[in-house]
Structure 1
Amino acid sequence: MPLARLPLLLALTCLGSGAALVGGRALLTLIPAPDPSTPTPTLKRLRRFSPDPERRREASLLLLPRQAKGDLAGERRLLRGQGWGGDELAALVLKRDALAAESLGDQAAAQQRWQQLVRRFPDTPASADGLYALGRQQSQLRQKLRSRFAAHPAALAAAVEAGPSDADRLQAALHLARHGVRWPGAGPRLRQACQSTAAAATPGQRDQLARGLAQLGDSAAALSCLKGSPPSPATQLALSRALLGGGSQQQAQAESLLLQLAKSAPRSSQASEAAALLSEQPGPRALQALKGLPSALQDTAPVQARRAMESGDIGATLAVLQRWPNDPASWELQWQQARQALLKRQWATATTLLSAPIGRELPVGLVGRQRFWLGFSQKQQGATAQAQRTWSDLIKQHPGGYYGWRAAVRLGRGDLNLDPRSSPALVQPQWHPLGSGDWQIDRLWRLGQPLEAWEHWRTERSSPPTSPQELITEGRLRRAVGDHWIGLGQLEQASLRLPVNANCALAQQLELDLQTASFVAELEEAGSTAGVPATLLAAVAKQESRFSPGVSSGAGAIGLLQLMPATAAELAGTPLAADDLTDPARNAQLGALYLKQLLGQWQGNPVLMAASYNAGPGATAGWVTPQLQQEPELWIEAIPYPETRLYVKKVLGNFWNFQERPLASC
């Protein structure tokens, strides 16, 4: 009898075990996945005791920056035994172990790991680093790298190092022109390939090299590279953009190229872009060039907007706004015409312009401006209650930035705090899900691997980001790997493209990203020492350098707060080397002292402080009138330097955002 029951007992045991496994797996899915906000003790418990090996590996990766902290031997111990399976995380573990072994001088172990990585994961972006490392001895692997992972940083680095033959360097330069023209060292490689006679490039290759040089702003090298050959439409457009940044002669040349391009293929996308660029150029020469455009391009929003602007005819302006409500040329036309009416105190005209139905199409970044000035015009016409409703709606829907601040002040709901004793501290950057739409990239981000996520993103993309969602994703990735200059620029572009009726959660995430400062500890320390709010330092640093300590301006300003060396030396009381000013802490200290001086000079007026930081105290002193106290918004709009006008609004809007961190209500 017992033997007869044995099969039944075994079956029940197997079923029970299976049910337990299934139930255990289901239970594990209910436990939140770890991320950079998970406390260290929780990660340690997961790493040691979790029944799920995947969770143990994820916890190990998240513990790397907390426990290893630059200890490469400790990093190798933490990741030991985690390179199992066919998952991409195994590839990441092999890569991290190989890099650590290389840095520790264990070349044999590094070589073994690189070979395992390339063999087991040939199509995973992490193996690009393996091909790069192994390619030091096997040059054919570098060629495979460029072919398989064209836009990966390892492939771009390999292209910069290509050689020794001129033919190799030419192919590498073409690769950089296509996939990484802004990669460090790409510019010299492109110029070298253009000048080389040993491996003569074909006209098509020269066109591609010239386009890359034009994208870098080197119009002279681009023209020289073409050697008199007519550029393709794409190159002609890039060359025109580069020439527009030059002097009067270069600008005239650019306008001529744009007109030629528009005439050559009037129904192409490049021709439309050329017409739009031509419409943006000031002066009678560009206006005359518009008359030569083909008829297909005459009746377009940019051209008609430019003509309406020149005529000053409000009827013509309203016709453009009604016909093309979602074209950026219409948005700019509406603002420029409204601004002129405001400065002339033509309140009814300003109200008519700002009430045009275009408001339903404006992107998030422009709605605040329109709503604030509509309320201002209503107030000036005696409609105080209506103005207050307009401003209240603005604060509810778009509370951030310069116009959110001014609306709050007008309604008595807050103001900037310049007292360092009571001013709020800067908020430390917080982790939030990436939401890229790619689960591998999102997982790498969740596991505190932003560099891997960024390289994965680059590898999979064949063109620059254009949609607001793409710009937000790439901007966040770039900032996470330290590229604040382009990253913040992309986030700002996203705010100018995100429709007002977009997903509110996405809009709020964008606002949080734009309100997040970098180098928080350095700015807090500098502000505390000098006696100015750290939020003010962050506001200036964001506008001056986008938190990029190594950036320098054409005028010679350097570092986080873009200090001129002479000013910095005077503040420090001693001559300073350029390296001193690229140090974030030192630059922040000196910048804080300068801002303290300006605040003292202008009795704590933030508008004059910001204007002086950009244009200088002398120029600013010449602009001061009683209107500054009575109508500061109009005073700012009357600043004669467009750059300073925008600068003041940006810095004070940043200051408000860092202090209040306002978010639109959903």
Structure 2
Amino acid sequence: MAAAQRACVSAGPTRGLLLLGGTSILTLMAIVGGQRLLRQRAIAVTPRMDSAQVWARYRWSLDPVQRREAALLLASRSKDSPQRQRRLLAGQGWGPAPLAAVALKQQALAAQRLGRPSEAKQRWRSLLERFPTSAASADARYYLKGKDAQLKQQLLSQQPAHPATLAAAAELPDDANQDTLQANALHLARWGPRWPGAASLMRRSCGTISGIGLLQEQRLSLASALAELGDGQAAELCLQGTPLQPPQALIIGRTLLRGTPAQKRRGEALLLDLANAHPQSEEALKAAALLSEPLRPKQALLDGLPLSLQERSADVAAARVRLNGNRNGLEVLKRWPDHPAIWQLQWDLARSALLEGQWNQALSVLNTIPGNKLPDPLAARQQFWIGFSLAKLGRQEQAERVWDSLVKDYPPGYYTWRAEARLGGGDLPALRGETAAAATRTIKANNTGMGQGWSPLNSGIPLVDQLWRLGLRQEAWDTWRSSQADVKPSPQSQLIEGRLRLGVQDYWTGLNRLWRANLRLVAPDDETQLQLHQSQHPRPLLPEFSAAAQQEAVRLELLLAIARQESRFSPGVRSPVGAVGLLQLMPATAAEMAAAPISDDDLQEPGRNTILGARYLAWLLEEWQGNIWLTAASYNAGPGAAGSWRTEELAQDPELWVERIPYPETRLYTKKVLGNLWAYLKPDWEGRDRSRSR
């Protein structure tokens, strides 16, 4: 018994030590595992993750929110497989979070694509019952409405700017009466005049002679919307003598200025009447700007403006300087250094001095407004020409310091390229031949990953930012658009709208919004500057552009640079002179390149257009022996015109040569294309040099 007791006593500490050690190991393992899970949870699901990483979170994450996010991102990557989407999204509509409404909508859409109408209807009803005020509920009302007048009325009143609502308003039944026609047209005029089909409804509502049954306020709304679309004639017909209020007078007058000579005269009279009737209004100030806009404004129109309005209008002051042979220009620049009209005046005065070789005068003009008071594109232009003028005055060291700062502080573009060239760099790679084709193959191989180029949206609306992060770009756009119905546009909102539009492949409008933001944002922070630059140089339709670049042995980046300027990557665009498609080919030029007749429909096909455009570009490069200046100018104005502009200055000072191009459109076009090219050749730019203060 004693021996047994001794054995138990000796075994007790041993078991205790084993138990203590095992507990410590398990605790350590739990801590390590917990930390790993916490780290995994802290890493948000984003499009930068490859599908294996997202799948791991969908399958193994302990966080149900993260599992749902992973399911939605995987589903957004599975658009060609509604069956897989349905499996991924099963059970993800739980809880009260706004993302649950989105999951229910995606479930309903997947069911519809699979031909399961009962299941889709059930999901739509669940969405509408649980989330009646969410943006996604607009889609539920749209799909459930049928002939339910109450649901349609809810759609129109509760979510007036949502795309589903605009689609419902544009769908006019065959048996619709005049009241329904007018109600739908007025809704579209207020919330979506550019929606497909809106213009025809608004014209029908106005009537060819008189909009029967329309109140004056309704006529004003319809006429203003038609004017926004550029249809001044329809706007005037719709008015039928209705007295104009300042906002409508401004919109219609602006549109008429772009019409026929007769319409232009009526527009001028309308704007002049507005300015004199309401001289203290904001609309009067904008009317004065429109009447001052031409490079050679009419003296009589400016004299007809109220004196008080003339005194407070920077646009009128700039116009007076131009009319008076540039006299008093510096005084006007100093008075309104923050006004866009004065920024343009500064460049006009500087360019005039530069072309005349008046370097000191150019410096005086360029230094009048500090660079930190200008948007980036204008500041970069200013800094380049300050350096250029200093170099011409023999102050080379100062010039190089200015150019060096320019290269470090601003995104890649035309003026940073020219600054690098002046500093001894800036060499372009081979733009045609086997070397160019090989570079395209390398680029194509390096652009196959998921989410390349993705960055946070930072819209200020958490749900929009979350949808963007999960690859649900259409949902992000719909939600953001619904929230911005009555918000006055700003440069920051134009940046967000531009990025969202690119996300839903509306490159035409998206790039326009980004361009406007770029010309109004002054001294943006580092993150905004980087986002704006990256967003302005997308690479859509890369398979088509890459195939064309390889087949015709031209540099891919040059094709992208031209397409961005020609069509903003919109295959269906037609110019007023008849150019068609991504690379805006004239039918005769395209037929020559194809060695056969070719239809406009064929030219709207991206693969066909890019190949013929690349072939024409290769011919121009060969014609000009690789000279990119003459090639770019020729693509816009034709090789005959560009050839007539050749001088020795092209080799010595190509920047000045461009400024002497007599066609303003070609002058701007050449700089834009070459700036695009340099930006596309520098895809890894990560922002300004943060070791420097701007």
Would the TM-score normalized by the shorter structure come out above 0.5?
A: yes
> Is 2:107 the partner of 1:97?
yes
Which residue number in structure 2 is paired with residue 32 of structure 1?
Answer: 43
Which residue number in structure 1 is paired with residue 512 of structure 2?
Answer: 489
Shift of 1:287: 2.1
| Distance in 2, Cα, partners of 1:466 & 1:202 | 29
Calculate percent identity across the aligned residue pairs: 47
Q: What is the DSSP-based 3-state SS (H/G/I as helix, E as strand, rest coil) of the residue aligned with 1:548?
A: coil
Which residue number in structure 1 is paired with residue 364 of structure 2?
Answer: 352
The residue identity in structure 2 corresponding to 1:394 is L
Shift of 1:303: 0.9
Q: Deviations over 1:52-79 (max 9, x none)?
A: 111111111111144x341112211121
The residue identity in structure 2 corresponding to 1:458 is R
Shift of the 537–198 alpha-carbon distance from structure 1 to 2, 3 Å rule, reads closer
Residue 155 of structure 1, aligned match among 131, 147, 165: 165
Residue 189 of structure 1, aligned match among 183, 201, 220: 201
Q: Is the 8 A contact 1:160 1:186 kept in 2?
A: yes
Shift of the 463–415 alpha-carbon distance from structure 1 to 2, 3 Å rule, reads farther
Q: Is the 8 A contact 1:326 1:358 kept in 2?
A: no
Q: What is the DSSP-based 3-state SS (H/G/I as helix, E as strand, rest coil) of the residue aligned with 1:345?
A: coil
Which residue number in structure 1 is paired with residue 143 of structure 2?
Answer: 133
The residue identity in structure 1 corresponding to 2:519 is L
Shift of 1:400: 1.8
Q: Is the 8 A contact 2:384 2:402 kept in 1?
A: yes
Which residue number in structure 2 is paired with residue 311 of structure 1?
Answer: 324
Q: Deviations over 1:454-507 (max 9, x none)?
A: 00001111246632221111100000001001101111111111112x211111
Q: Deviations over 1:401-444 (max 9, x none)?
A: 11111111111122222345265737745111111111110001
Map 1:509-658; keep pairs closer than 5 Å. 509-658=531-680
> Is 2:505 the partner of 1:452?
no
Residue 506 of structure 1, aligned match among 528, 532, 543: 528
> Is 2:440 the partner of 1:430?
no
Q: Deviations over 1:614-661 (max 9, x none)?
A: 111111122112211111111110111100100000000000000023
> Is 2:688 the partner of 1:664?
yes
Q: Does 355-364 or 441-450 show the bigger shift?
A: 355-364
Which residue number in structure 2 is paired with residue 62 of structure 1?
Answer: 73
| Distance in 2, Cα, partners of 1:378 & 1:289 | 40
Shift of the 353–44 alpha-carbon distance from structure 1 to 2, 3 Å rule, reads same
Which residue number in structure 2 is paired with residue 380 of structure 1?
Answer: 392
The residue identity in structure 1 corresponding to 2:600 is A
Which residue number in structure 1 is paired with residue 383 of structure 2?
Answer: 371
| Distance in 1, Cα, partners of 2:286 & 2:331 | 22
Which residue number in structure 1 is paired with residue 500 of structure 2?
Answer: 477
Q: What is the DSSP-based 3-state SS (H/G/I as helix, E as strand, rest coil) of the residue aligned with 2:460?
A: coil
Which residue number in structure 2 is paired with residue 81 of structure 1?
Answer: 91
The residue identity in structure 2 corresponding to 1:27 is L
The residue identity in structure 2 corresponding to 1:116 is S
Q: Deviations over 1:72-127 (max 9, x none)?
A: 12211121111111122221122112122222222211211111111111001111
| Distance in 1, Cα, partners of 2:530 & 2:300 | 44
Q: Which structure has the bigger radius of gyration?
A: 2
Which residue number in structure 2 is paired with residue 8 of structure 1?
Answer: none
| Distance in 2, Cα, partners of 1:486 & 1:348 | 41
Which residue number in structure 1 is paired with residue 133 of structure 2?
Answer: 123
The residue identity in structure 2 corresponding to 1:310 is L
Which residue number in structure 2 is paired with residue 234 of structure 1?
Answer: 247
Shift of 1:29: 7.7
Q: Deviations over 1:315-343 (max 9, x none)?
A: x1111111111011111111001111111
Shift of the 441–399 alpha-carbon distance from structure 1 to 2, 3 Å rule, reads closer
Map 1:192-231; keep pairs closer than 5 Å. 192-195=204-207, 200-231=213-244
| Distance in 2, Cα, partners of 1:251 & 1:90 | 53
Shift of the 150–399 alpha-carbon distance from structure 1 to 2, 3 Å rule, reads closer
Q: Is the 8 A contact 2:353 2:361 kept in 1?
A: yes
Which residue number in structure 1 is paired with residue 23 of structure 2?
Answer: none
Which residue number in structure 1 is paired with residue 336 of structure 2?
Answer: 324
Which residue number in structure 2 is paired with residue 111 of structure 1?
Answer: 121
| Distance in 2, Cα, partners of 1:332 & 1:50 | 56
Q: What is the DSSP-based 3-state SS (H/G/I as helix, E as strand, rest coil) of the residue aligned with 2:150?
A: helix
| Distance in 2, Cα, partners of 1:159 & 1:296 | 44
Q: Does 420-429 or 86-95 show the bigger shift?
A: 420-429
| Distance in 1, Cα, partners of 2:656 & 2:106 | 56
Structure 2: gaps spanning 5 or more residues:
1-26
| Distance in 2, Cα, partners of 1:398 & 1:581 | 37
TM-score (norm 2): 0.89
Which residue number in structure 2 is paired with residue 48 of structure 1?
Answer: 59
Structure 1: gaps spanning 5 or more residues:
1-15
TM-score (norm 1): 0.93
Shift of the 539–464 alpha-carbon distance from structure 1 to 2, 3 Å rule, reads farther
Which residue number in structure 2 is paired with residue 287 of structure 1?
Answer: 299
Which residue number in structure 2 is paired with residue 249 of structure 1?
Answer: 262
The residue identity in structure 2 corresponding to 1:263 is N
Q: Is the 8 A contact 1:167 1:199 kept in 2?
A: no
Shift of the 282–330 alpha-carbon distance from structure 1 to 2, 3 Å rule, reads closer
Q: Is the 8 A contact 2:565 2:669 kept in 1?
A: yes
| Distance in 2, Cα, partners of 1:384 & 1:25 | 58
> Is 2:286 the partner of 1:273?
yes
Q: Is the 8 A contact 2:205 2:211 kept in 1?
A: no
Q: Is the 8 A contact 2:413 2:675 kept in 1?
A: yes
Q: Does 364-373 or 90-99 show the bigger shift?
A: 90-99
Q: What is the DSSP-based 3-state SS (H/G/I as helix, E as strand, rest coil) of the residue aligned with 1:280?
A: coil
| Distance in 2, Cα, partners of 1:27 & 1:287 | 71
Shift of the 281–253 alpha-carbon distance from structure 1 to 2, 3 Å rule, reads farther
Which residue number in structure 2 is paired with residue 10 of structure 1?
Answer: none
Which residue number in structure 2 is paired with residue 178 of structure 1?
Answer: 190
CA RMSD of aligned residues (A): 2.1
